[in-house]
Amino acid sequence: MIDQKGILFILSGPSGVGKGTVRKELFDQDTELKYSISMTTRNIRPGEIDGIDYFYKSNEEFETLIQQKQLLEYAKYVNNYYGTPREYVEKTLANGHDVFLEIEVQGALQVRENFKEGVFIFLFPPSLDELKNRIVNRGTESQELVINRLREARKEIEMMDAYDYVVVNDRVDNAVSKIQSIIQSEHCKRERIEKQYKQLLEDEIS
C-alpha cells in the first residue's frame, strides 16, 4: 500500500501576534486540514464550546494526562495548562490527514524535539518590519525607543531558530494565503513524493 501519512503543521509565535485569528481564518476557508483541539485548564470563555474550542479539564485531570504520557506537548501559560492530545494527532496522521496545531512557543519546541518531520511555521509581528524601517531611517526616531525595541525584537528573532518558515502577520488574509502556499509546497516536496512512489514500486515487485 502507498504510504500516505499526513503532514503535521505547527503554527506558533510570540504572544499577541494573532495566531488564533489566523488559524480561525484558515479553517473558515475550505480546507482538508484537521485541527487538533487542545486540552486546557483555563476557564471556558463566553461563546466557546467544550470539544470545539478546547477540551476543558481540571488541574488534576490535566496532570493525570501528563503522567499517562497522553500529551504530545504541554506548557503552562499564564498559570494554566495547555496541551496537545497525542492519540488524536498520531491516528489522524496515520490515516493520511494533515494535522494543524496552533500552540505557544514552549510547546512548539517540545514538538520539534519529538516530531522532527513536522513543518514549523513562525508567525512574526509586523511591528518588527516597522522596526526595520526605523533602523534604516535612523535619526527620525529617538535612539532610546529604537534600543528598547531592539532588545525585545532580539528575543523574538532568536525564537525563529526552531522554525522552517516565517510568516509576517501584516494582514490576516496575507498570512493565511502564505500558510496555504506552505502547505501546498510541502506536499510537492520531492522527498515525500519519491518515498511514496518507491514504496508503490516495491509493493508491486513483492
Kindly list the residues in this chain that would bind ligand 5GP in the complex (CB under 6 A): 15, 19, 38, 42, 73, 75, 77, 82-84, 102-104, 107
Query: Which residue number has the CB closest to ligand 5GP?
Result: 107
Q: Which is nearer to ligand 5GP, 70 or 199 (CB)?
A: 70
Q: Which is nearer to ligand 5GP, 86 or 195 (CB)?
A: 86
Please report how close the Cβ of residue 145 comes to ligand 5GP at its closest, in angstroms: 27
Reference 86, options 106, 60, 107, 58; nearest CA is 107
How many Cβ atoms are within 10 Å of 137's Cβ, its own excluded? 9
- Per DSSP, 194 falls in state H
Please report how close the Cβ of residue 80 comes to ligand 5GP at its closest, in angstroms: 7
- Cβ–Cβ under 8 Å, residues 79 and 101: no
Please report how close the Cβ of residue 44 comes to ligand 5GP at its closest, in angstroms: 10
Q: Which is nearer to ligand 5GP, 33 or 103 (CB)?
A: 103
Q: Which is nearer to ligand 5GP, 88 or 192 (CB)?
A: 88
- How far is residue 142 from each of residues 86, 127, 147, 201, measured CA to CA in Å? 49, 16, 9, 65
Q: Residue ranges of the alpha helices (H) in 29-142? A: 59-67, 86-94, 105-114, 127-136
Q: Which is nearer to ligand 5GP, 4 or 59 (CB)?
A: 59
- Cβ–Cβ under 8 Å, residues 98 and 6: yes
Please report how close the Cβ of residue 99 comes to ligand 5GP at its closest, in angstroms: 12
Phi, psi of 60 (to 5 degrees): -65, -45
